[in-house]
Structure 1
Amino acid sequence: MTRHDVTPPRQWQFNLKLLVFSGLFLPLLLGLGIWQLERAGEKERQLQQWQQQATELSWQQLWQQVPEPGQPVVLKGQFTGFSWLLDNRTRDGVAGYEVMTLFEAVDGPSVVVNRGWLRAPARRETLPAFPTPPGIVQIRGRLVMFPQPPVLDTQPPAGNWPRRVQALTAEQAGEASPSLAPLVLRLAGGDQPGAFRADWQPDRMGPQTHYGYALQWFSLALVLVILTVVASYRRVAGSPTPSCSSMPLSSSSLYSPSTTGADNDNDDGQRHD
């Protein structure tokens, strides 16, 4: 006969440690996901407000409301002959400069415009030559903070224009204009007047980033619930229930190989013979 084990069914078993662990982390994960959704909604409302202000308010009116870094603006004016070349800027492993030019607005304070990246000449002592559009132009971009120095350099720029600098502060740029905005206007793209390579990396998280983070937190909460439910169902402790199955018996197994009395007599008779 053979023996087969029957797998016992899984049953819900109370596990205090597991439930406490899940009860602590599940609200935390859900709260983080909801918080990211709220942040995404705030960013969307902020972007809508900024876009409305950029189209409805003049540069002078917008500046009176104290704009923030990242805010899009549209203004008219003209580029001046004051330009700074931010050193140690690379694109695709190629050395170059970011061209910063003072822009005089038709109304409102002047602003330093980051026109994008320009390839550096082969010789270090040679500065790149670049054109500047004349006359009144309309530019579009976003306000950013003045660039931080990649290396420690506290010496003020000097010499002829354009000037090569490691960093540019609002105080240094203010020497070229009596009224200067404390933020830099970064052109929106290469199609803007006077722009060079203006493929900027995002310097702030948009609503899509917050939605992505919210999806990650909610996914972790779902995984936690699934693992908790699976771990709570365990097999019932105890010995497995055996079951036997009958095997076909051969004809020879119907009789035991015992020696009968008649056989003993025959054996005795044969030995007498």
Structure 2
Amino acid sequence: MTEARRNNRTWQPDWRLWVFCGLLLPVLLGLAGWQLQRAAYKQQQLDLWQQGQETRPWGTLDATGLVTGQAVTVDGVYAEPTWLLDNRTRDGVAGYEVLTLFAPVSGVPVVVNRGWVPAPAMRSQLPVLPQPAGQVRVTGRLSPYPEPPVLARTSVSGAWPRRVQTLTRAAAQAESSGVAALVLRLADSGQPGAFRADWTPDRMGPQTHYGYAVQWLALAIVLLLLTVRASFRPSPTESNNDHTHG
């Protein structure tokens, strides 16, 4: 009897269900594709970062052709604008990454990521940030501006240093026009003006994005399978027979 009922199921799609599937399926596939693109991009950046490259003077680089991972040396002075990138942890301790505008002797201005500092106990307090006076030479590698979290906003006003959830190039350009398209991460904690600079290129590597892509793709497949399965229903004759025998 069970086998007969299974064979008597016919294709009876519900247009409302298929409209829902048609709207949601492209979104899930799009998210999977976007995560794959992010994974490929992160892998490319990681490969560039790990390559042993010659350290080049900042003034000799073309500002329009900067490459992530390039090692550079810059002579200049730290400027006043300093952003505290919020919600950064080290060893389970909350803190900030310190990004300061740097005015080079030669070349375009650049934002320097000086490393991590712990946050004070009170949220209303900001960390004390000693800054070298006069001209210094710093060495580091170029990296993208920090990725913003969802719905993050960049503060555009206030005293320095300024606490922010993210920092875009546009926000940096509001303080210094022509600022470089990439950030300079100091090579180590021994650099002038550095704090704790013991980071890796990116904490969210390509494998994480591949995992997210698989999850979105799996959801898309499950959605399609469930929609197809729900479109096969018992035939009207079978339903009437069930009511009659009941």
Instruction: Report the TM-score when normalising by structure 2.
Output: 0.60
Distance 1:73 1:155, change over 3 A: closer
- Root-mean-square deviation over aligned CA pairs: 2.2
Aligned partner letter, 1:191: G
Shift of 1:179: 2.0
C-alpha separation in 1, matches of 2:141 and 2:188: 10
Stretches of structure 2 lacking an aligned partner (at least 5 in a row): 1-42, 204-246
Q: Once superposed, which parts of structure 1, at least 4 consecutive aligned residues long, lie more than 2 Å away?
A: 154-157
2:51 & 2:169 partners in 1: Cα distance? Answer: 26
CA contact (8 A) 1:157 1:165 kept: no
Structure 1: gaps of 5 or more residues = 1-38, 205-273
Once the two structures are superposed, residues 130-177 of structure 1 have per-residue CA deviations (whole angstroms, 9 ceiling, x without a partner) of: 100011110000000000123421354321111000000000011111
Distance 1:64 1:98, change over 3 A: closer
CA 1:148–1:197 in 2, change beyond 3 Å: closer, same or farther?
same
SS of 2:59's partner is helix
1:116 & 1:123 partners in 2: Cα distance? Answer: 21
Query: Against the structure 1 CA distance between its residues 107 and 187, is the aligned structure 2 distance closer, same or farther, given a 3 Å change threshold?
Result: same
Q: What is the rounded CA distance, in whole Å, between the counterparts of 1:129 and 1:192 in structure 2? A: 18
The corresponding residue for 1:163 is 162
Q: Which amino acid aligns with 1:74?
A: T
Deviations 1:202-258 (A, max 9, x none): 349xxxxxxxxxxxxxxxxxxxxxxxxxxxxxxxxxxxxxxxxxxxxxxxxxxxxxx
Deviation at 1:113, TM superposition (A): 0.2
Give 3-state SS (helix, strand or coil) of 1:182's partner. coil
Question: Which residue identity is paired with 2:89?
Answer: T
Q: Secondary structure at the match of 2:107?
A: coil
Aligned residues: 157
8 A Cα contact 2:63 2:108, kept in partner: no
- Counterpart in the other structure of 2:183: 184
CA contact (8 A) 2:153 2:164 kept: no
Rounded Cα–Cα distance in structure 2 between residues aligned with 1:88 and 1:65 = 31
Aligned to 1:30: none
Match in the other structure for 2:171: 172
- Residue pair 2:154, 2:165 contacting (<8 A) in 1 also: no
Give the distance between the partners of 1:155 and 1:68, measured in 2 at CA: 25
- Provide the C-alpha distance between the structure 2 equivalents of 1:112 and 1:197, rounded to a whole number of angstroms: 17
Amino acid at match of 1:200: W
Cα distance per residue 1:17-59 (max 9 Å; x no partner): xxxxxxxxxxxxxxxxxxxxxx9xxx69x945x30xx34xx32
Higher gyration radius (CA): 1
2:131 is aligned to: 132
**Equivalent residue of 1:104, what SS?**
strand
Preserved contact between residue 187 and residue 195 of structure 1 (Cα < 8 Å): yes
Tell me the residue number matched to 2:102: 103
Q: Quote the sequence identity (%).
A: 53
Q: Which residue of 2 aligns with 1:114?
A: 113
The alpha carbon displacement at 1:64 in A equals 4.7
**Could you tell me which amino acid in structure 2 is paired with residue 167 of structure 1?**
T
Q: CA deviation at 1:79?
A: 0.3
Letter in 1 for 2:76: G
**1:268 matched residue in structure 2:** none
Give distance in 1, aligned partners of 2:80 and 2:180.
Answer: 18
Q: Tell me which amino acid in the other structure corresponds to 2:106.
A: D
Q: What CA distance in whole angstroms lies between the structure 1 residues aligned with 2:174 and 2:201?
A: 30
1:195 alignment partner AA: A
DSSP 3-state at the match of 1:89: strand
What amino acid is the match of 2:85? L
Match of 1:198 in 2: 197
Q: Which residue of 2 aligns with 1:207?
A: none
Find the aligned partners of 2:160 and 2:97 in 1 and give their Cα distance.
Answer: 15
The 3 A distance-change label for structure 1 pair 59 and 153 is: same
